Amino acid sequence: MHHDGPNECDPTVATIKDVARLAGVSVSTVSRVMNESGYVGTDTRVKVQQAMVQLNFSPNDIARGLVSKKTASIGLLIPDVSNPFFADIARGTEDAAIAQGFSVILCNSDWQMDRERMYLDILRGKWVEGVVVAGSRSPEQVLLKAIGDLPFVMVDRRAVHQGNSVWMDNQRGAMVATEHLFNLGCRHLAHITGPEHSPSGQARHAGFIQAVEASASVLQTQVMQGDFRVDGGYRAGLQLLQGQQRPDGIFAGNDLMAIGVIHAAQFLGLRVPQDVSVIGYDNIAMAQYVAPKLTTIDQPGYEMGKAAFEMLYRQLQSEQELSEDVEFEPTLVLRESTQNRGQKR
């Protein structure tokens, strides 16, 4: 028999059995004291607890999960953690999760549907209790199908059929941005969109259009396709700023592209904001460190991630699938890249 004596210093981890043996009780009693379930005599409890510390016992969550079907872990499916916005979401989600004793499994999909599907399958196999999906650009039906019966909450995108998403009204945020430009006296507005299938990009585009149409004065407008990256903003900015009708106000679909636009302007010898105002979207950390400091619409990634987990957690507790969507307000962050038309400096 290969029984290790309980006081032997063995390299293998102590199990509930070892504790039981050492304490001279049954495994169920040990189980009771760890879970504080059922009645246990004070003296036995003490004996067991001593045995636990003596053996440096820590329960095997895997075995526990097998029985209870609870793993105290969730999946976080995002396009890319090295994108600051998603990194913030990740941090918010993880903070909220650990506060409830949950762990989060990180999955980077790079916006690819097949990777999302793959991760979802893996997560299911690991019996995560739910999943936070952020920034997906996949068609809703396909995505929902891949999620299957996993409890989930969606971030940065509104799920049409569900009451479980955390989002911002990107359209309204875009309107705020556009109106800001208009209020500054800009009359020739341009917008640089996100990549083609980005829901948030589309919403922002729609907001730009809506704000422009709502405005009384006739405006000239241009729209250019971007990609949410500095380079795309730079290229679009170059084209816009060299065109026949140079815009006096540019709303870039996100901060990265706004930074690209500013570079383009500087390359062309144009001054921001004197010659052209530029506003971004997201309010990434970098926005306050570039020159000129970027005016933008704030998108609170950390809070959104936090809210997402909390929403998921509520779902898990109550067994009811739908709760109320959480909506964040887009707020204008005024900095140096926009200024009143004609204002000197």
Binding residues vs its own copies (CB under 8 A): 11, 58-63, 65-66, 71, 73, 76, 80-82, 84, 87-88, 90-91, 94-95, 98, 103-108, 119, 121-127, 149, 230, 259, 263, 266, 285-286, 289-291, 302
Residue from 5, 10, 46, 66 touching DNA (CB under 7 A): that is 66
The entry of DNA, its own copies, none that residue 126 binds, CB within 5 to 8 Å by partner kind: its own copies
Reduced DSSP (H G I as helix, E B as strand, rest coil) percent helix, strand, coil of the chain, to 5: 45, 15, 40
Spatial separation of the C-alpha atoms in residues 207 and 200, rounded to whole Å:
10
Q: Is 289 in the site for DNA (CB under 7 A)?
A: no
Residue from 4, 49, 64, 72 touching DNA (CB under 7 A): that is 64
Give the type of residue at 121. D
Residue from 5, 10, 35, 214 touching DNA (CB under 7 A): that is 35
The entry of DNA, its own copies, none that residue 263 binds, CB within 5 to 8 Å by partner kind: its own copies
Q: Is 27 in the site for DNA (CB under 7 A)?
A: yes
Nearer to DNA, 123 or 311 (CB): 123
Tell me the pairing of strands 249-252 and 188-192: parallel
DSSP letter string, 219-275: -EEEEE---SSHHHHHHHHHHHHHSSS--SEEEESSHHHHHHHHHHHHHTT--TTTT
The two tokens of residue 91 are 């941090």
Among 80, 336, 333, 83, smallest CA distance to 230 is for: 83
∠ CA 94-99-104, rounded to 5°:
30
148 vs 109, 120, 160, 163, 313, CA distance in Å?
Answer: 18, 9, 16, 16, 18
The entry of DNA, its own copies, none that residue 149 binds, CB within 5 to 8 Å by partner kind: its own copies
Residue from 7, 37, 244, 320 touching DNA (CB under 7 A): that is 37
The entry of its own copies, DNA, none that residue 68 binds, CB within 5 to 8 Å by partner kind: DNA
Q: Is 15 in the site for DNA (CB under 7 A)?
A: yes
* Piece in contact with DNA (CB under 7 A), picked from 19-27, 143-151, 259-267, 283-291: 19-27
Nearer to DNA, 26 or 220 (CB): 26
Among 322, 302, 298, smallest CA distance to 153 is for: 322
Spatial separation of the C-alpha atoms in residues 177 and 165, rounded to whole Å:
24
The two tokens of residue 195 are 């990549």
The entry of its own copies, DNA, none that residue 73 binds, CB within 5 to 8 Å by partner kind: its own copies
The entry of its own copies, DNA, none that residue 103 binds, CB within 5 to 8 Å by partner kind: its own copies
Q: CB of residue 292 vs its own copies: minimum separation in angstroms?
A: 9
59: number of Cβ within 10 Å: 15
Q: Is 50 in the site for DNA (CB under 7 A)?
A: no
Q: What is the CA radius of gyration of the chain?
A: 27
The entry of DNA, its own copies, none that residue 259 binds, CB within 5 to 8 Å by partner kind: its own copies
How many residues at the interface with DNA, by CB under 7 A? Answer: 28
Residue ranges that bind DNA, judged by CB under 7 A: 15-17, 24-29, 31-32, 34-35, 37-41, 43-45, 59-60, 63-64, 66-68
